[in-house]
Amino acid sequence: MSSTIQEAVITSVQPFNKDVFQVFLEGDQPWQYQAGQYLEIQVTEDSWAPFSIASAPGQPQLELHIQYLPGRETSELLQQQLKTGNRLKLRLASGACVLPEAEQPLLLVAAGTGFAQMKSLLEAAFQTNWNAPLTLYWGSRSPEGLYALQQALAWEKQHKNFKLIACVDLADADWRGRNASLTESLAMDFIEPESAAQIRGFISGSPAVVYAVEDFMISRGMPPRALLSDAHAYAPRDYD
Report residue 214's pLDDT band, with 50, 70 and 90 as the boundaries: very high
Closest CA to 98 of 150, 129, 49, 52: 52
In a domain, 101, yes or no: no
Residues 156 and 196 both lie in one domain: yes
10 and 119, same domain (yes or no): no
**Alpha-carbon gap, residue 162 to 146, rounded angstroms:** 17
Residues 34, 8 share a domain: yes
The residue among 94, 129, 148 that closes a domain is 94
Considering the domain architecture, whether residues 110 and 90 belong to the same structural domain is answered as no
User: Are residues 34 and 133 located together in one domain of the fold?
Assistant: no
Asked if the structure places residue 100 within a domain, the reply is no
217 and 163 both lie in a single domain = yes
Q: How far apart are CA 31 and CA 20, in angstroms?
A: 23
Query: Measuring CA to CA, which residue among 38, 23, 15, 26 is closest to residue 82?
Result: 23
Residues 169 and 143 in one domain: yes
* pLDDT at residue 240 in the model: 73
Residue ranges making up the domain that contains 11: 4-94
Task: Flag whether 24 is in a domain.
Answer: yes
Q: Are strands 106-111 and 201-204 parallel, antiparallel or unpaired?
A: parallel
pLDDT digits (tens, 9 = 90+) for 185-211: 999 999 999 999 999 999 999 999 999
Q: What is the CATH number of the domain that holds 152?
A: 3.40.50.80
Residues 127 and 153 reside in one and the same domain:
yes
Q: Domain ends where: 45, 60, 94?
A: 94
Last residue of one domain, picked from the residues 31, 59, 94: 94
Question: What's the pLDDT tens digit per position in 11-46?
Answer: 999 999 999 999 999 998 889 999 999 999 999 999
Domains held by the chain: number: 2
Q: Do 112 and 55 share a domain, yes or no? A: no
- Are 155 and 45 members of one domain? no
Question: Per-residue confidence at 2, pLDDT binned at 50, 70, 90?
Answer: low
Q: Are residues 113 and 229 in the same domain?
A: yes
Same domain, 74 and 31: yes
Which of helix, strand or coil describes residue 60? Answer: coil
